[in-house]
Amino acid sequence: MGSTINLVCIIEKSPQPPQYVYWQRNDRMINYDDSRRDITIETTPGPRTQSRLIIREPQINDSGNYTCSASNTEPASIYVFVSKGDNTAAISRRKTSGAAATSQLSAILFECLFFPSVILSYLLKSSYA
């Protein structure tokens, strides 16, 4: 059994649920990248829209800055570092300041299995009143 990276983006307090949620790695859109059969995106729209990015059997080149974005929201990002043979994980959170948005967007890590290990070194959570 191999590793899985499971990133979840939650959008709430939006006047209207977004029609699309976009995922990027290092500023490159991955939503429609059909060259990778081991990457899937599952989105559940509604008052609390949830989009899940799943990477099965992550490789070292899957390391990078992952960003979730939707219309009328501030993007949320997390830096994922994948290495082989390391069994540690680090997560640091940072609240952003910036232009007010009409919804809340947050990136949350739900699970990682460390078989080639996954190190999370940066988690950004945006929240708005």
Domains observed in the chain: 4-125 (2.60.40.10)
- pLDDT for residue 53: 92
What CA–CA distance (Å, rounded) separates 117 from 84? 6
Confidence of residue 68 (pLDDT cuts 50, 70, 90): very high
For 85-104, write each residue's pLDDT tens digit: 654 444 333 344 333 332 33
Greater pLDDT, 16 or 27: 27
What CA–CA distance (Å, rounded) separates 111 from 94? 20
What CA–CA distance (Å, rounded) separates 77 from 122? 8
Tokens of 102: 């009409």
For 106-128, write each residue's pLDDT tens digit: 333 333 333 333 333 333 333 33
Confidence of residue 26 (pLDDT cuts 50, 70, 90): very high
Q: β-pairing, 118-125 with 93-95?
A: parallel
Between the CA of residue 5 and those of 13, 92, 105, what are the distances in Å?
27, 17, 19
| pTM exceeds cut of 0.85 | no
Nearest to 83 by CA among 23, 1, 3: 3
* Mean pLDDT of all residues belonging to the chain: 68
- pLDDT for residue 82: 84
Strand partners, 39: 55
- pLDDT for residue 65: 92
